[in-house]
């Protein structure tokens, strides 16, 4: 047995006797013998345990049940469903025995007062009673202190746990220290002292328990805070690991964890700019919450090119280089962004990690270097390692104009100034200033061409990274196949870049560009060979790869015969003073020159220095990528404006314009479908000129191309993919229709600053072509622009119900009659009581409109019209329109202007058509809002127009009614209330809300009784709508 008892009974038994006992037990014994032996051996122990447990935990605890649970848990056995609390029957029995004992001997009662006798031990439960023969006298037991030792497994080397740490079914929150001498067991302890002692012990126990609970709650609370902080840090760490410069491939987990602690949360309100294009920063940002839009400046305006949401990052290159931001990021919602500065990264990273990060940053910069853009990530990394770093100081010359390109340079820090040669006529030959992330020397690297620029350090300190062609190829290793493949990739990339220098090709979508590029062929010309002659029909477009070409405008045979030397006879004029745009530079080889002043007739010897170079130098082209013959891309009958001759052996890329013509013809057909650019307005040549201005855009599925309500100046044509045209109705976005290849939208934006009437969202990956207002005005003449503006105005009539169904010719006639007028801030355009004589369209600016019942006005922008609802009957406008912006331009017309669009005998029919259109609009506005035009027309046939004179009664109170009445014109007043009119804005149309009577009973199934009397205060007309029509089932 693992139980030990210090009593005399337990000490009398030796270890050997217990061993002999268990040997006997192992043998076959009867149940009675087994029970007798167990009572003899364990009885004293159970009795001692029972006494100590009751003194420590109270009489309500059953020691044997508690021992049973402990033994089962110790042996990993199923605990029987036995409660450690005594049964209620035992408690009642004990109480009854106590009461009867007190009645027999009152002097022994605990309420009798002080006594010298020792306190009576509590009655044992029946389950713990043993036969009297096996019990020791009480005197012997009282002489020996009863000790209940800790109940624990005896495991060597393991700290013992008390029984309180086990689940014994007792809800104890305190570990009591067991002692052999308890004050409550001492003979001198009085009964009332025993009771107070118990209360004190329980108070201390409760205090300890509550303190323990409080500490436990605090610990749990701290653990929860720590867990949430860890999860928060872990989430930020995952965001950080998505940044290529800070990913697991660059930094280890410990370094990433340190950087996470330096992330600073910055809060931005909606519409706030986080970074702006062109500014230099030193922070990267990670979006933790919210949505941002990415914008780029094109044609002087901000264009949204993408959106960023949770987990997205931007500005990562800024933590290493002072590079200007390539785009603007503005918040669309409230945003929390995590910022990490360059200083924090430099302070936390080792020099090795910093160099590794710079290496990855260089590979990202390669995306903007066309020569390296098509390399895979592994090859880019090898190239980044091979780059050589150099430091330059202000004024240092990195290369001269005639310096043969041997290395390509990428600027890592500072600025570089590129000054072109005065002889060069290349389209790109202009002074340029380059900054971090930009490059030079790429075009000539593969061909060994001259730089063509004088390249100078323009900052106090400039850091560059450079690589030669040989070093590039060496990154492929010793394998010949790998080196050949890499060199082929580089040549293909640079050739594609050179071809894209032609503006007409640069604007092609990638799919169309590949078609053109596949037709390019390499051709060579020997020295003095003619590529094309002046006046020849241009059949090809040429792009220079290697060698030197010259534009020559003289006698070609003479130039070739003298090997570039031109002889002049005496008194021949080389250059007149009035010719300030000479394309030639002459170096004197032999003879004498004179300067002749024709005003005074005096000749003076030319004293200029004679150059050792005696060749005649025509305008030269040595830069790879210079192109010739591009005029044939815009006109099939284009002829060469000069003779192009090879001054050295040259290599050119040659491709026919037919492939580009096919693409341009398709795009021209797209344009011609737009009324503004149709053949009724523009010639084919003008259409092709607009095609040359088209710019491709790529949008991923789900991206918005335009948004309802925004102001734009671009029209778009879908070249590939599908778009959804959406509109916000009842605070929900509804898809109106799908737009496919060849469809266009936003055409009015190229004429007027009008808000978009709908949103267009890419349903799939989409390529669209854009054309801006500036593109049109720079290509098309003013007379054609005026004609296009008239057509654009006529298209605005589509949003005015009484004009929407007119013929295109009638709309154009009305558009020509529109009268422009300018108003200034604070001017009243129309007033409430003013009779409607004109229909107004806002061409530019903004106005404020309100009715007499409106507390606040509504702001209206360009493209909005007002005055239509009262124009046909010259009723009061019921609106006040005031200029809100500094200046407003309007277009307006009268009813006679509209009727004049029809012939003399057709004006009455046109007026009836407009009246019918007005009645359909009233039906739509009052009771049939969701119906189509066809359904409205059918409903109108069931309605009746009722004319009333002043003072006439429409219906009496208590009269049975079967219709709803809508006011067409005139004033009608009920006897119990005054109708209210408020401002209504429906799309681009503004009006005072229509007045109707009976909509409150329109939902009734049958005839209703009129709750008031309705009379006509002036002559007028009502539209009587049957209840079945006003409230269709």
Return the pLDDT at 823: 93
Quick one: which H or E segment has residue 973?
strand 972-974
Q: Give the residue, 328 or 795, on which the prediction is more confident.
A: 328
Confidence label for 929 from pLDDT (cuts 50, 70 and 90) = confident
Q: Calculate ∠ Cα 582-586-592, nearest 5°.
A: 120
Show Cβ contacts of residue 805 under 8 Å, excluding neighbours closer than 6 positions.
913, 917
Percent of the chain predicted with pLDDT > 70: 76
Q: Given a cut of 80, is residue 455 above it in pLDDT?
A: yes
Sequence-separated (6 or more) residues with CB below 8 Å from residue 524: 649, 650, 651, 652
CA distance 48 to 54: 10
pLDDT number for residue 437 = 79
Report residue 109's pLDDT band, with 50, 70 and 90 as the boundaries. Answer: very low
Quote the pLDDT of residue 828: 92
Q: Is 904 helix (H, G, I), strand (E, B) or coil?
A: helix
Q: What is the reported pLDDT for 160?
A: 40
Q: Using 50, 70 and 90 to split pLDDT, how confident is the model at 94?
A: low
DSSP-derived pairing of the beta strands 865-866 and 989-992 = parallel
- With a CB cutoff of 8 Å and minimum separation 6, the contacts of 106 are 112
pLDDT of 182 > 60? The answer is no
- pLDDT band with cut points at 50, 70 and 90 for residue 307: confident
Averaged pLDDT, 880-901: 90
pLDDT of residue 568: 54
Q: Phi-psi bin for 746: left (phi > 0), alpha (psi -120 to 50), beta?
A: left
Q: What is the mean pLDDT of the chain?
A: 76
Give the highest mean pLDDT range of 540-544, 548-552, 863-867: 540-544
DSSP letter string over 431-480?
-EEE-TT-EESHHHHTTT-B--EEEEE-SSEEEEEEEEHHHHHHTT-S-H
Which of the four pLDDT bands, split at 50, 70 and 90, describes residue 195? low
pLDDT for residue 308 is more than 80? yes
Q: Report pLDDT for 262.
A: 84
Cα–Cα distance for residue pair 49/29, rounded to 1 Å: 28
In sequence order, what are the residues at sequence separation of 6 or more whose Cβ sits closer than 8 angstroms to the Cβ of residue 557? none
Euclidean distance between CA atoms 553 and 631, whole angstroms: 18
Confidence of residue 298 (pLDDT cuts 50, 70, 90): low
Question: Looking at residues 641-662, what average pLDDT do you find?
Answer: 88
Over residues 225-249, mean pLDDT: 75
343-356 pLDDT, tens per residue?
888 888 888 888 77
* Model confidence at 185: pLDDT above 70: no
Q: What is the rounded distance in angstroms from the CA atom of residue 437 to the CA atom of residue 458?
A: 15
Write the secondary structure of 629-681 as one string of H (helix), E (strand) and C (coil).
CHHHHCCCCCECCCEEEECCCEEEEEECCHHHHHHHHHHHHHHHCCHHHCCCC
pLDDT attached to residue 824:
92
Q: What is the mean pLDDT of residues 736-744?
A: 86
pLDDT value, residue 380: 85
The mean pLDDT of 639-651, rounded to a whole number, is 89
Strand order of the sheet with strand 397-399? 397-399, 453-457, 416-420, 432-434
Q: Calculate mean pLDDT across residues 466-481.
A: 90
Lowest model confidence (mean pLDDT) among 89-98, 313-322, 1019-1028: 89-98
Angle at 293 between CA 287 and CA 298, to 5 degrees: 140
Q: Phi and psi (nearest 5°) for 757?
A: -85, -10
Cα atoms in the 13 Å half-sphere on the side-chain side of 269: 0
- 3-state SS, residue 880: strand
pLDDT of residue 513: 84
Cα 935 from chain centroid (whole Å): 42
Least confident of 50-59, 263-272, 297-306, 870-879: 297-306
End-to-end CA distance of the chain: 91
- Sequence-ordered list of residues with C-beta below 8 angstroms from that of 18, at least 6 positions apart, any chain: 1, 41
pLDDT above 90 for 703: no
Average pLDDT over residues 13-26: 51
Q: What is the length of the chain?
A: 1033
Exposure string over 811-850, b if 16+ CB within 10 A, otherwise e: bbbbbebbeeeebeeeeebbeeebebebbbbbbbbbbebb
Please compute the mean of the pLDDT values over residues 570-596 and round it to a whole number.
Answer: 52
Mean pLDDT of 838-862: 84
Contact call for residues 544 and 652 (beta carbons, < 8 A): yes
Dihedral over Cα of 712, 717, 718, 722: its sign:
positive
Least confident of 26-40, 183-197, 878-892, 933-947: 183-197
Comparing 891 with 228, the larger pLDDT belongs to 891
Return the closest-CA partner of residue 379 out of 223, 490, 298.
490
Given pLDDT bands bounded at 50, 70 and 90, which one contains residue 796?
confident
Bigger pLDDT: 790 vs 581: 790
Query: Could you tell me the pLDDT band of residue 17, with boundaries at 50, 70 and 90?
Result: low
Dist. CA 698–CA 710, nearest whole Å: 20
What's the Cα-to-Cα distance from 602 to each of 318, 450, 593, 598, 599, rounded to whole Å? Answer: 66, 43, 14, 7, 8
| The pair of three-digit structure tokens given for residue 890, joined into one six-digit string | 């309007």
3-state secondary structure 560-602: HHCCCCCCCCCCCCCCCCCCCCCCCECCCCCCCCEEEECCCCE
Instruction: Give yes or no for residue 126 having a pLDDT over 70.
Output: no
Q: Are 1016 and 954 in contact (CB under 8 A)?
A: yes
- Please give the full DSSP string across 674-704, using - where no structure is assigned: SGGGSTTTS-HHHHHHHHTT-EEEEE-TT-E
Q: Which residues of 438-465 are buried (b: 16+ CB within 10 A; e: fewer)?
A: bbbbbbbbbbebbbbbbbbbbbeebbbb
Q: What is the pLDDT of residues 314-354, one digit of tens each?
A: 888 777 777 778 889 999 889 999 888 888 888 888 888 88
For the chain, how many helices (H) and strands (E)? 29, 53
**pLDDT value, residue 983:** 85
pTM for the whole structure: 0.54
The stretch 479-502 carries a mean pLDDT of 90
pLDDT at position 8, please? Answer: 41
pLDDT single digits (tens) 158-180: 444 333 333 434 444 344 444 44
CA dist., res. 900 & res. 911, Å (int) = 11
Q: Which pLDDT does position 901 carry in this prediction?
A: 86
Assign 119 a pLDDT band (cuts: 50, 70, 90): very low
Token digits of residue 895: 């009813």
DSSP secondary structure of 388-419:
EEEEEETT-EEE-TTPBP-EEEEEEES-EEEE
Structure confidence at residue 129 (pLDDT): 38
Q: Per-residue confidence at 945, pLDDT binned at 50, 70, 90?
A: very high
pLDDT at 89 > cutoff 50: no
**Is the predicted pLDDT of residue 103 greater than 70, yes or no?**
no
Q: Which of 441, 456, 420 is nearest to 621 (CA)?
A: 420
Q: How far apart are CA 410 and CA 418, in angstroms?
A: 14
How confident is the model over 620-634, as pLDDT tens digits?
Answer: 788 888 899 988 887
Token pair of 431 as six digits: 């002074």
Q: Above pLDDT 90, what percent of the chain?
A: 11
Give residue-wise pLDDT tens across range 383-413: 888 889 899 999 999 888 888 888 899 888 8
Tokens of 695: 């710019």
pLDDT exceeds 70 at position 1012? yes
**Distance between CA atoms of 350 and 258, rounded to whole angstroms?**
12
User: What average pLDDT does range 461-474 have in this prediction?
Assistant: 90
Residue 529's H or E segment, with its range, is none
Identify the pLDDT of residue 916: 92
Average pLDDT over every residue of 845-860: 84
**Structural contact between residues 284 and 314, judged by C-beta atoms closer than 8 angstroms:** yes
Whether pLDDT at 613 is above 80: no
- Mean pLDDT across 589-607: 55
What letters, b where the CB count within 10 A reaches 16 and e where it falls short, cover 42-54? ebbbbbbbbbbbb
Could you tell me the two tokens for 935? Answer: 């359904």
Give the pLDDT of residue 567.
52
Contact 523, 652 (CB under 8 A): yes
For residue 555, the model assigns a pLDDT of 55
Residue 183 clears pLDDT 60, i.e. is over it: no
Q: Specify the DSSP element, H or E, that contains 316.
A: none
Residue-wise pLDDT for 654-688, tens only, equals 988 888 888 888 888 888 888 788 887 888 888 88
| Residue of higher predicted confidence among 371 and 757 | 371
Both tokens of 357, joined, read 């990060």
């Amino acid at each position: 047995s693992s139980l030990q008892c210090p009593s005399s009974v337990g000490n009398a038994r030796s270890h050997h006797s217990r061993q002999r006992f268990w040997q006997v037990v192992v043998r076959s014994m009867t149940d009675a013998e087994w029970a007798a032996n167990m009572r003899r051996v364990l009885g004293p122990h159970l009795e001692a345990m029972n006494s100590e447990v009751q003194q420590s935990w109270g009489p309500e605890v059953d020691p044997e049940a508690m021992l049973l649970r402990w033994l089962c848990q110790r042996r990993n056995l199923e605990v029987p469903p036995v409660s450690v609390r005594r049964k209620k029957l035992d408690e009642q029995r004990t109480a009854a025995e106590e009461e009867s004992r007190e009645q027999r001997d009152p002097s022994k009662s605990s309420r009798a007062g002080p006594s010298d006798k020792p306190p009576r031990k509590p009655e044992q439960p029946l389950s713990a009673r043993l036969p009297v023969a096996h019990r020791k006298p009480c005197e012997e037991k009282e002489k020996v202190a009863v000790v209940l030792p800790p109940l624990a497994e005896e495991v060597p080397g393991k700290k013992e746990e008390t029984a309180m740490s086990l689940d014994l079914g007792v809800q104890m929150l305190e570990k009591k220290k067991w002692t052999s001498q308890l004050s409550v067991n001492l003979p001198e302890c009085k009964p009332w002292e025993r009771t107070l002692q118990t209360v004190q012990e329980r108070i201390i126990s409760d205090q300890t328990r509550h303190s323990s609970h409080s500490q436990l709650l605090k610990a749990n609370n701290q653990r929860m805070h720590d867990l949430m902080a860890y999860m928060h840090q872990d989430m930020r760490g995952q965001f950080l690991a998505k940044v290529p410069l800070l990913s697991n491939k660059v930094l280890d987990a410990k370094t990433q964890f340190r950087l996470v602690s330096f992330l600073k949360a910055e809060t931005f309100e909606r519409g706030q700019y986080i970074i702006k294009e062109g500014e230099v920063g030193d922070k990267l940002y990670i979006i933790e919450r919210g949505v941002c839009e990415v914008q780029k400046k094109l044609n002087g305006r901000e264009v949204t090119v993408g959106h960023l949401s949770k987990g997205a990052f931007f500005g990562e290159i800024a933590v290493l280089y002072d590079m200007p931001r390539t785009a603007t990021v503005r918040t669309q919602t409230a945003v929390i962004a995590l910022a990490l500065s360059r200083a924090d990264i430099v302070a936390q990273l080792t020099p090795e990690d910093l160099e590794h990060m710079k290496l990855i940053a260089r590979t990202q910069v390669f995306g903007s270097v066309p020569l390296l853009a098509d390399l895979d990530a592994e090859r880019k990394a090898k190239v980044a390692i091979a780059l050589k770093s150099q430091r330059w100081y202000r004024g240092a010359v990195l290369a001269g104009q005639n310096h043969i390109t041997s290395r390509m340079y990428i600027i890592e820090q500072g600025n570089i100034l590129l000054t072109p040669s005065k002889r060069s006529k290349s389209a790109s030959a202009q002074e340029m200033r380059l900054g971090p992330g930009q490059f030079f020397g790429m075009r000539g690297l593969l061909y060994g061409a001259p730089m063509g620029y004088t390249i100078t350090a323009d900052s106090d300190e400039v850091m560059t990274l450079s690589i030669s062609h040989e070093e590039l190829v060496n990154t492929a290793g010793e394998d010949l196949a790998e080196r050949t493949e890499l060199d082929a990739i580089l040549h293909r990339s640079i050739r594609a870049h050179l071809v894209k220098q032609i503006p007409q090709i640069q604007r092609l979508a990638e799919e169309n560009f590949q078609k053109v590029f596949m037709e390019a062929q390499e051709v060579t010309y020997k020295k003095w060979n003619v590529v094309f002659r002046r006046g020849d029909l241009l059949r090809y477009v040429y792009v220079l790869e290697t060698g030197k070409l010259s534009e020559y405008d003289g006698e070609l045979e003479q130039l070739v015969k003298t090997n570039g030397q031109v002889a002049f006879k005496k008194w021949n004029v080389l250059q007149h003073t009035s010719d300030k745009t000479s394309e030639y530079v002459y170096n004197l080889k032999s003879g004498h020159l004179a300067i002749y002043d024709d005003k005074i007739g005096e000749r003076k010897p030319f004293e200029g220095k004679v150059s050792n170079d005696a060749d005649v130098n025509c305008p030269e082209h040595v830069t790879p990528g210079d192109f010739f013959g591009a005029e044939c891309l815009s006109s099939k009958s284009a002829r060469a404006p000069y003779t192009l001759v090879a001054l050295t052996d040259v290599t050119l890329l040659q491709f026919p314009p037919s492939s580009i013509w096919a693409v341009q013809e398709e795009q021209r057909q797209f344009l011609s479908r737009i009324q503004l650019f149709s053949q009724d307005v523009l010639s084919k040549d003008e259409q092709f000129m607009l095609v040359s201005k088209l710019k491709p855009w790529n949008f991923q599925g789900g991206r918005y191309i335009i948004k309802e309500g925004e102001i734009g100046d671009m029209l778009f044509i879908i070249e590939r993919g599908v778009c959804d045209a959406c509109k916000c109705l009842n605070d929900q976005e509804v898809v109106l229709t799908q737009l496919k290849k060849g469809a266009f939208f936003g055409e009015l934006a190229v004429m007027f600053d009008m808000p978009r009437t709908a949103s267009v969202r890419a349903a799939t990956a989409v390529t669209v072509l854009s054309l801006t207002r500036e593109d049109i005005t720079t290509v098309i003449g003013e007379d054609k622009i005026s004609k296009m503006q008239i057509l654009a105005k006529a298209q605005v009539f589509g949003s005015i119900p009484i004009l929407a169904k007119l013929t295109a010719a009638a709309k154009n006639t009305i558009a020509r009659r529109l009268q422009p007028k300018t108003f200034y801030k604070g001017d009243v355009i129309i007033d409430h009581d003013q009779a409607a004589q004109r229909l107004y369209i806002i061409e530019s600016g903004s106005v404020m409109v309100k009715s007499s019942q409106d507390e606040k006005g509504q702001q209206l922008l360009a493209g909005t019209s007002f005055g239509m609802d009262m124009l046909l009957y010259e009723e009061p406008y019921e609106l006040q329109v005031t200029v809100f912006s500094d200046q407003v331009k309007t277009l307006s017309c009268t009813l006679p202007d509209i009727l004049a669009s029809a012939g003399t005998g057709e004006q009455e029919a046109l007026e009836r058509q407009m009246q019918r259109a007005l009645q359909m609009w009233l039906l739509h506005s009052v009771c049939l809002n969701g119906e189509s035009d066809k359904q409205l027309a059918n409903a109108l046939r069931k309605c009746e127009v009722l004319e009333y004179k002043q003072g006439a009664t429409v219906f009496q109170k208590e009269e049975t009614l079967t219709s709803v009445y809508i006011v067409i014109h005139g004033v009608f007043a009920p006897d119990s209330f005054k109708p209210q009119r408020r401002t209504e804005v429906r799309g681009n149309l503004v009006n005072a809300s229509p007045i109707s009577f009976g909509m409150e009973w329109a939902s009734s199934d049958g005839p209703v009784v009129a709750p008031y009397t309705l009379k006509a205060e002036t002559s007028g007309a009502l539209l009587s709508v049957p209840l079945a029509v006003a409230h269709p089932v």
